Amino acid sequence: MPFPLLFNKLILCETSAQKIIGKEDFYEKNRDVIDRFMEAQKRVAAFMKDNQDEVLQIVAEELDLDEEAVREMYACYDFSMDVTDTCC
């Protein structure tokens, strides 16, 4: 993971796929937890990208929605952890 950036006692941890912001003291005390969280988020994002049909089925079942409705809504969401001002 690239070296975290420090700004006004907040830490920005960043990989190519995600970002997380937290307090510097929390980061220093829990670096291993944050690193594992970031790795888990990276794996989840890859799974969602590589298995979209399975993800849609899981979401539809968990939310008790029609899979086609979930498919239509899915396109409106950006599951990356990039901070942007765009929407669908």
Residue holding tokens 């979209």?
Answer: 52
Q: Is the pLDDT of residue 80 over 90?
A: no
Calculate the average pLDDT of the chain: 75
Q: Which of 14, 33, 10 minimizes the C-alpha distance to 81? A: 14
Mean pLDDT of 53-81: 87
pLDDT the model gives residue 16: 47
pLDDT the model gives residue 61: 93
Q: Is the pLDDT of residue 51 over 80?
A: yes
Q: How many CB atoms lie within 10 A of CB 18?
A: 18
Residue 11, helix vs strand vs coil: strand
